[in-house]
Amino acid sequence: MVTPREVERIFHEAGAFREGHFVLASGKHSPGYLEKFQVLQWPVRTAMLCADIAEWARSLAPRTIAGPTTGGIIIAHEVGRQMELRAVYAERTLGARGREFRRGFEIGSGERVLVVDDIMTTGGSVQETIDAIRAKGAQVVGAAVFVDRSGGAATLDVPMHALWTLDMPAYAPGECPQCAAGVPLTKPGTTPAPVAR
Protein backbone atom coordinates (compact mmCIF):
# COMPACT_ATOMS: atom_id res chain seq x y z
CA MET A 1 0.00 0.00 0.00
CA VAL A 2 1.22 3.48 -0.87
CA THR A 3 1.40 5.92 2.04
CA PRO A 4 -0.05 9.47 1.99
CA ARG A 5 3.52 10.80 2.31
CA GLU A 6 4.53 8.86 -0.82
CA VAL A 7 1.55 10.28 -2.74
CA GLU A 8 2.49 13.78 -1.60
CA ARG A 9 6.08 13.18 -2.74
CA ILE A 10 4.90 11.98 -6.17
CA PHE A 11 2.79 15.11 -6.65
CA HIS A 12 5.62 17.41 -5.54
CA GLU A 13 8.28 15.69 -7.65
CA ALA A 14 6.02 15.82 -10.72
CA GLY A 15 5.48 19.57 -10.27
CA ALA A 16 1.78 18.94 -9.72
CA PHE A 17 1.46 20.96 -6.49
CA ARG A 18 1.03 24.62 -7.47
CA GLU A 19 0.51 27.83 -5.52
CA GLY A 20 -1.19 30.99 -6.79
CA HIS A 21 -4.82 32.09 -7.25
CA PHE A 22 -6.88 29.52 -9.11
CA VAL A 23 -10.49 29.00 -10.17
CA LEU A 24 -11.35 25.32 -9.69
CA ALA A 25 -13.74 23.15 -11.74
CA SER A 26 -16.30 23.67 -8.95
CA GLY A 27 -16.17 27.44 -9.55
CA LYS A 28 -14.53 28.03 -6.18
CA HIS A 29 -11.23 29.88 -5.80
CA SER A 30 -8.13 28.49 -4.09
CA PRO A 31 -4.52 29.50 -3.34
CA GLY A 32 -3.43 25.96 -4.22
CA TYR A 33 -3.97 23.68 -7.19
CA LEU A 34 -3.05 20.07 -7.92
CA GLU A 35 -2.34 19.63 -11.64
CA LYS A 36 -3.10 15.93 -11.87
CA PHE A 37 -1.90 15.62 -15.45
CA GLN A 38 1.65 16.31 -14.28
CA VAL A 39 1.32 12.97 -12.44
CA LEU A 40 -0.86 11.16 -15.00
CA GLN A 41 1.71 11.78 -17.75
CA TRP A 42 3.92 9.20 -15.99
CA PRO A 43 2.40 5.71 -16.53
CA VAL A 44 4.58 3.98 -13.91
CA ARG A 45 3.59 6.46 -11.18
CA THR A 46 -0.05 6.30 -12.26
CA ALA A 47 0.02 2.49 -12.20
CA MET A 48 1.50 2.50 -8.69
CA LEU A 49 -1.25 4.80 -7.37
CA CYS A 50 -3.93 2.78 -9.14
CA ALA A 51 -2.54 -0.44 -7.63
CA ASP A 52 -3.41 0.89 -4.18
CA ILE A 53 -6.98 1.61 -5.30
CA ALA A 54 -7.27 -1.83 -6.91
CA GLU A 55 -6.04 -3.55 -3.74
CA TRP A 56 -8.52 -1.59 -1.59
CA ALA A 57 -11.40 -2.35 -3.98
CA ARG A 58 -10.94 -6.12 -4.30
CA SER A 59 -13.10 -6.91 -1.26
CA LEU A 60 -15.91 -4.78 -2.76
CA ALA A 61 -16.08 -7.16 -5.75
CA PRO A 62 -16.85 -4.60 -8.49
CA ARG A 63 -17.58 -5.84 -12.01
CA THR A 64 -16.98 -2.47 -13.73
CA ILE A 65 -14.79 0.56 -13.01
CA ALA A 66 -16.21 4.00 -13.90
CA GLY A 67 -14.64 7.45 -13.83
CA PRO A 68 -15.71 10.96 -14.80
CA THR A 69 -14.02 12.74 -17.67
CA THR A 70 -11.21 13.69 -17.97
CA GLY A 71 -8.63 12.36 -15.52
CA GLY A 72 -11.03 9.67 -14.31
CA ILE A 73 -10.77 7.98 -17.71
CA ILE A 74 -7.08 7.23 -17.21
CA ILE A 75 -7.58 6.04 -13.64
CA ALA A 76 -10.61 3.86 -14.50
CA HIS A 77 -8.67 2.29 -17.37
CA GLU A 78 -5.62 1.49 -15.23
CA VAL A 79 -7.60 0.19 -12.23
CA GLY A 80 -9.70 -1.88 -14.63
CA ARG A 81 -6.54 -3.26 -16.27
CA GLN A 82 -5.06 -4.27 -12.93
CA MET A 83 -8.31 -5.87 -11.77
CA GLU A 84 -9.01 -7.40 -15.20
CA LEU A 85 -12.35 -5.57 -15.36
CA ARG A 86 -14.11 -3.32 -17.85
CA ALA A 87 -13.59 0.46 -17.58
CA VAL A 88 -16.16 3.08 -18.66
CA TYR A 89 -16.48 6.82 -18.20
CA ALA A 90 -19.21 9.37 -17.60
CA GLU A 91 -19.25 12.59 -19.61
CA ARG A 92 -20.96 15.88 -18.84
CA THR A 93 -24.59 15.85 -19.93
CA LEU A 94 -25.06 17.97 -23.04
CA GLY A 95 -26.88 21.21 -22.22
CA ALA A 96 -27.67 20.21 -18.63
CA ARG A 97 -26.09 19.46 -15.28
CA GLY A 98 -24.86 16.02 -14.38
CA ARG A 99 -23.16 13.21 -16.26
CA GLU A 100 -24.19 10.38 -18.52
CA PHE A 101 -22.72 7.33 -20.22
CA ARG A 102 -22.48 7.75 -23.99
CA ARG A 103 -20.47 6.09 -26.79
CA GLY A 104 -22.37 2.82 -26.41
CA PHE A 105 -21.39 2.20 -22.77
CA GLU A 106 -24.03 0.01 -21.13
CA ILE A 107 -24.34 -0.60 -17.39
CA GLY A 108 -26.77 -3.31 -16.39
CA SER A 109 -29.31 -3.24 -13.60
CA GLY A 110 -27.70 -4.51 -10.40
CA GLU A 111 -24.17 -4.32 -11.86
CA ARG A 112 -21.52 -3.64 -9.19
CA VAL A 113 -19.52 -0.52 -10.08
CA LEU A 114 -16.52 1.18 -8.47
CA VAL A 115 -16.14 4.92 -9.14
CA VAL A 116 -12.62 6.37 -9.37
CA ASP A 117 -11.28 9.88 -9.93
CA ASP A 118 -8.12 11.92 -9.54
CA ILE A 119 -8.75 14.93 -7.27
CA MET A 120 -11.87 15.45 -5.14
CA THR A 121 -12.63 18.98 -3.95
CA THR A 122 -16.40 19.09 -3.39
CA GLY A 123 -17.15 15.56 -4.57
CA GLY A 124 -19.29 16.92 -7.41
CA SER A 125 -17.80 14.92 -10.31
CA VAL A 126 -17.76 11.70 -8.29
CA GLN A 127 -21.35 12.23 -7.13
CA GLU A 128 -22.52 12.98 -10.68
CA THR A 129 -20.91 9.71 -11.81
CA ILE A 130 -22.58 7.84 -8.94
CA ASP A 131 -25.93 9.38 -9.93
CA ALA A 132 -25.45 8.34 -13.58
CA ILE A 133 -24.70 4.75 -12.50
CA ARG A 134 -27.71 4.61 -10.19
CA ALA A 135 -29.90 5.99 -12.98
CA LYS A 136 -29.09 2.74 -14.84
CA GLY A 137 -30.24 0.68 -11.83
CA ALA A 138 -26.68 -0.39 -11.02
CA GLN A 139 -25.04 -0.52 -7.59
CA VAL A 140 -22.12 1.71 -6.62
CA VAL A 141 -19.95 -0.38 -4.28
CA GLY A 142 -17.44 2.37 -3.44
CA ALA A 143 -15.42 5.33 -4.63
CA ALA A 144 -11.69 6.04 -4.61
CA VAL A 145 -9.55 9.06 -5.48
CA PHE A 146 -5.87 9.89 -5.58
CA VAL A 147 -6.39 13.04 -3.47
CA ASP A 148 -9.20 14.36 -1.28
CA ARG A 149 -8.30 18.04 -1.07
CA SER A 150 -11.39 18.81 1.05
CA GLY A 151 -9.68 17.52 4.19
CA GLY A 152 -12.48 14.95 4.53
CA ALA A 153 -15.28 17.53 4.29
CA ALA A 154 -16.61 16.16 0.98
CA THR A 155 -18.76 13.15 1.83
CA LEU A 156 -20.38 10.39 -0.22
CA ASP A 157 -22.92 7.73 0.74
CA VAL A 158 -20.64 4.85 -0.35
CA PRO A 159 -17.37 3.48 1.08
CA MET A 160 -14.65 6.01 0.23
CA HIS A 161 -10.87 5.67 -0.13
CA ALA A 162 -8.43 8.56 -0.69
CA LEU A 163 -4.72 7.90 -1.10
CA TRP A 164 -3.89 11.37 0.26
CA THR A 165 -6.15 13.73 2.21
CA LEU A 166 -5.25 17.36 2.69
CA ASP A 167 -7.15 20.47 3.67
CA MET A 168 -6.59 22.92 0.84
CA PRO A 169 -8.91 25.95 1.22
CA ALA A 170 -11.47 26.79 -1.45
CA TYR A 171 -13.66 29.89 -1.37
CA ALA A 172 -16.79 31.14 -3.09
CA PRO A 173 -15.66 33.98 -5.41
CA GLY A 174 -17.34 36.63 -3.23
CA GLU A 175 -15.50 35.34 -0.14
CA CYS A 176 -12.06 34.85 -1.69
CA PRO A 177 -9.32 36.76 0.18
CA GLN A 178 -7.08 36.76 -2.90
CA CYS A 179 -9.81 38.36 -5.01
CA ALA A 180 -10.22 41.02 -2.30
CA ALA A 181 -6.45 41.64 -2.45
CA GLY A 182 -6.53 41.97 -6.25
CA VAL A 183 -4.36 38.90 -6.96
CA PRO A 184 -4.76 37.88 -10.65
CA LEU A 185 -6.86 34.74 -11.15
CA THR A 186 -5.61 31.74 -13.14
CA LYS A 187 -7.84 29.12 -14.74
CA PRO A 188 -5.81 25.88 -14.63
CA GLY A 189 -5.50 23.92 -17.83
CA THR A 190 -5.43 27.08 -19.95
CA THR A 191 -1.71 27.80 -19.63
CA PRO A 192 0.10 26.75 -22.81
CA ALA A 193 3.09 24.44 -22.50
CA PRO A 194 6.52 26.07 -22.96
CA VAL A 195 7.76 26.04 -26.53
CA ALA A 196 10.68 23.63 -27.02
CA ARG A 197 13.73 25.32 -28.55
pLDDT digits over 50-75, tens only?
999 999 999 999 999 999 998 999 99
Q: What is the mean pLDDT of residues 110-119?
A: 97
pTM for the full predicted model: 0.88
Q: What is the mean pLDDT of residues 92-100?
A: 86
Q: What is the mean pLDDT of residues 75-94?
A: 96
SS3 call for 81: helix
* Residue partners of 29: CB distance under 8 A and separation at least 6: 21, 22, 23, 170, 171, 172, 173, 176, 178, 179, 185
- Which residue did the predictor score with more confidence, 143 or 155? 143
Domains and CATH numbers, the chain: 4-180 (3.40.50.2020)
